[in-house]
Amino acid sequence: METIYKINHALSDIRNHLQRIEERLNVSSREVGGWLDHQDICKMLNISKRTLDHYRELGLIPFSKIGGKVFYRESDINAYLNNHITQKKLKKTGQRSAAVQETR
């Protein structure tokens, strides 16, 4: 029983260590000029890799390709999102809803 406890404890330590490494890598990759790969973008936008590929093929999102690996500037992704903000309008008055006005 003690052996199982030691193994579980060791696995927990390894998992925690790997999470810290992953966090450091994510932070450092964003610090280097704001370039992100498809995993970062898919996670950020909650979309599949195929959807991201489709956006790229349509020319919706600028990218750079180095040795077969595609990178995106974080500023380009933010600009794309900012350009596609939709606002809900009230039916009778045509004014923006109070919830939208509060967020601005």
The whole-number pLDDT of residue 32 equals: 54
Distance CA 24, CA 18 (A): 10
Please tell me the distance from the alpha carbon of residue 45 to that of residue 25, in angstroms, as a whole number.
Answer: 19
Residue range of the domain that includes 40: 33-82
Residues 4 and 41 in one domain: no
Instruction: Return the pLDDT at 21.
Output: 81
Residue 64 and residue 76 in one domain:
yes
- Which distant-in-sequence residues (6+ apart) come within 8 Å of 70 by Cβ? 37, 38, 56, 63, 64
Q: Which residue has the higher pLDDT, 23 or 52?
A: 52
Residue 19 has pLDDT above 70, yes or no: yes
In this prediction, residues 42-54 reach a mean pLDDT of: 94
Looking at the domain assignment, is residue 42 inside a domain? yes
Q: For position 90, what pLDDT does the model report?
A: 73
Question: Are residues 42 and 71 located together in one domain of the fold?
Answer: yes
pLDDT of residue 63: 94
Residue 2's pLDDT is what?
85
The answer to whether residue 89 sits within a structural domain is: no
Rounded CA-CA distance 32/68 in Å is 19
95 within domain boundaries: no
Q: What's the structural domain count of the chain? A: 2
Q: 28 and 45, same structural domain? A: no
Report percent pLDDT > 70 for the chain: 79
pLDDT in tens, 54-73: 999 999 999 999 898 999 99
Cβ atoms < 10 Å from Cβ of 45: 15
What is the 8-class DSSP label of residue 33? T
Residue 72 maps to a domain: yes
